[in-house]
């Protein structure tokens, strides 16, 4: 039996927790993830080449009173699927 190459996840870079704005009563947060194409695969396991992708998440919130935070989020903002 031929040996299989090690299964290795694609390269991924995550920029997390950029506090764009943070004030006493409101905050805005952005997160960006970049994943490379996976083309070093093991065909014997039925793996497939996968394209690279990017994900951008945006969150914002308000703090109207102590111990209460209201927030909304837009996840995977530029998704085209």
pLDDT at 11: 76
* 2 assigned to some structural domain: no
Q: Tokens 């090690």, residue?
A: 6
The pTM score is: 0.66
- Residue 41 pLDDT class (50, 70, 90 cuts): confident
Place of tokens 């695969």: 41
Any domain includes 3? no
Range of the structural domain that residue 39 is part of: 12-74
Residue 80: the pLDDT is 79
Examine residue 81 and state whether it is found in any structural domain, yes or no.
Answer: no
Residue of 75, 53, 63 lying closest to 22 (CA atoms): 63
Residue 79 lies in a domain: no
| pLDDT tens per residue across span 44-58 | 777 788 888 888 999
Residue 48 lies in a domain: yes
């Amino acid at each position: 039996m031929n040996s299989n190459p090690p299964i290795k996840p694609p390269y991924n870079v995550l920029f997390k927790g950029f506090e764009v704005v943070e004030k006493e009563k409101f905050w805005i947060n952005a997160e960006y993830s970049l994943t490379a194409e996976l083309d070093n695969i093991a065909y014997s396991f039925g793996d497939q080449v996968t394209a690279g992708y990017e994900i951008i998440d945006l969150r914002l919130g308000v703090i109207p009173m102590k111990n209460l935070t209201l927030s909304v989020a837009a996840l995977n903002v530029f998704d085209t699927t």
